[in-house]
Structure 1
Amino acid sequence: MLSARGLFTEILDNDESFRLFCSIAASGETQGGWENGRIAALVPPGLAALAPKIARHGADEDKHGRIFNGLLHGRALEPVPVPADTDYTMLLERAGIGLAHSRLRAEQPLSEHDIVTYLSHSRVTEQRASEQMAMLLRLFGDHPEIGRAIRQIARDEDNHLAYCHEELLLLARAGHGQLIRRTLHECARAEIRVYREVSLAVMAHMGRLLHWPAPKSAALRAGIHAVYAYERVAGRRRMTTLTMPSRRNALGGGPVAAEAVS
């Protein structure tokens, strides 16, 4: 019987699959760090109070990239190029979700509409990240090699999600409610589709590295499609609702911790 613990244990125990897993994760986090850094630099004057929080978000993502690269270093492994079909952030951009990189490379300040788009996109993707890290925390939070990294990243992802909820609710009260609702639903529809495609691609690459038999790969594909079907019908509601978090100002608590995993 397939289980999440069994699958991830297989991936972690094999150097080549571990190398691919950490390379994909490090690339995505580093990309997120760059995006948030550029957004922080381009925040419009009317929302200047958000800039340090966005910068903190970006610094956290950069830190996560270093953590995953540190895990590779701990096994004397080098990162591998990320296959294009597993590049979650690139595929989301191609789907028109979030702010285009061409926009972020320009020096023109963003608009309030752009910030709503950014925060709505982040609220959806941070939901996914928080859930994935919660699963890894449950399964491997005490793992001698990766447990410390998982615990730190999971805390950060929960903070990122709380920050998105709080800031979007504040913007809704300022008159952006209709735009936020529409953008959240657009982002969620696109994200669950991209997540399905990336999950299928990652499992295909892992299957080749680990020599999974055809029935096992077929069962995994069926499971990914089943999750997509559920999310398409009912599951995406968790990505589109907003609730004031119990922890307020989650990204306003000072500088990023310099801790890294090596």
Structure 2
Amino acid sequence: MLSARSLFQEILDHDESYRLFCSIAASGEAQGGWENGRIAALVPASQRALAPKVARHGADEDKHGRLFNALLRKRGLQPATVPEETDYTALLERRGIGLAHDKLRRDEPLTEQDVVTYLAHSRVTEQRAAGQMDLLKKYFGGHPEIGRAILMIAADEENHLAYCHEELLRLAEQGHGPAIRRALRDCALAEAVVYRDVSLAVMAHMGRILGWPRAKSAVLAAGIRAVYAYERLAGWRRMVTLRTPERRDALGGPAASAPEFV
């Protein structure tokens, strides 16, 4: 029977599929670390109190990238080249979601609207990341090879999501509510498309590596498209709601290290 647990176990048990999975994850996290680092350096004067939290967010993402690369090294594997069609972060940027890398490479202060754009993008993508890590934590949190890294990353993703909620609510109180609602909706709808396309691409690559029969690949692709149809219809709303988080000031301190891995 097909299940999230059995599929990931199959990927985990095969060196080449595991190599691709960890390489895609490491690349995305490293890219997120760079983006947050640049945003922290360019935060406008009116939002300077936000800069240390953005920097902490970036440090966490960098750590996650190192964790995935450490998992590869533990198995004696080298990172794989990440196929363009599986690059979630780059595909989001191509759709105009988040802050463009060209803007981040310039040494020009961001605007408050840029901060809204950044936080809305982060709120949506961190919701996705937190959901994925919750699933992995459920099935593999106790795994001897990957369990500790999964638990570390899952805890960080919960902090990131809490931080996004808290900061967006703070900006809404400062009069940015309409801009936040627009940015969240636009980002959520575009992210659903990108997530569908990346999921289909990743499953296609995994299917080729693992030799899945055509029927199995077809069932998985249909499932991915069904999830997208639901998200397009109504599921996107869970990505745009804001609530006061239980964890307050979740990124208010330094990033936790992972000495056993890096």
What is the TM-score with the length of structure 2 in the denominator? 0.99
Shift of 1:109: 0.3
| 1:62 positional shift | 0.0
Partner Cα distance (1:70, 1:110) in 2? 34
In the alignment, residue 207 of structure 1 is paired with which amino acid? G
Inter-partner Cα distance in structure 1 for 2:162 and 2:255: 16
Residue aligning to 1:31: 31
Alignment-mate amino acid for residue 3 of structure 2 = S
One-letter code of the match for 1:256? Answer: A
Q: How far apart are 1:134 and its partner, in Å? A: 0.2
Q: Displacement of 1:82 after TM fit?
A: 0.3
Give 1:1-262 correspondences, 5 Å limit.
1-252=1-252, 254-260=253-259, 261=261
User: Quick one: percent identity of the two aligned structures?
Assistant: 71
The alignment's C-alpha RMSD in Å is: 0.6
Tell me, in whole angstroms, the C-alpha distance in 1 between the residues paired with 2:75 and 2:219: 31
Q: Deviation digits for residues 62-87 of structure 1, max 9, x if unmatched?
A: 00000000000000100011000000
The secondary structure found in structure 1 opposite 2:30 is helix
- SS of 2:234's partner is helix
Distance in 2, Cα, partners of 1:65 & 1:91: 19
Runs of 4+ in structure 1 deviating by more than 3 angstroms, as ranges, are: none
Partners of 2:113 and 2:5 lie apart in 1 by: 41
Partner letter of residue 250 of structure 2?
A: A
Partners of 1:226 and 1:259 in 2: how far apart?
37
* Separation in structure 2 between the aligned mates of residue 12 and residue 20 of structure 1, nearest angstrom: 10
State the alpha-carbon separation in 2 of the partners of residues 11 and 92 from structure 1.
Answer: 25
What code does the residue aligned with 1:259 have?
A: A
Runs of 5+ in structure 2 lacking a partner? Answer: none
State the TM-score, normalized to the length of structure 1.
0.99
Number of aligned positions between the proteins:
261
Per-residue CA deviations over 1:154-187 (Å, capped at 9, x if unaligned) read: 0000000000000000000000000000000000
Distance 1:44 1:223 in 2: 43
**Offset at residue 37 of structure 1 (A):** 0.1
Letter in 2 for 1:117: T
Q: What's the CA shift for 1:259?
A: 1.1
- Deviation of 1:123 after TM superposition, in Å, equals 0.2
SS of the aligned residue for 1:236 comes to helix
Deviation, 1:256, is 1.3
CA distance, structure 1, for counterparts of residue 87 and residue 246 of structure 2: 33
How far, CA to CA, are the matches of 1:4 and 1:256 in structure 2? 30
State the 1:255 CA deviation.
1.4
Distance 1:257 1:249 in 2: 15
1:24 and 1:99 map into 2 onto residues whose CA distance is: 21
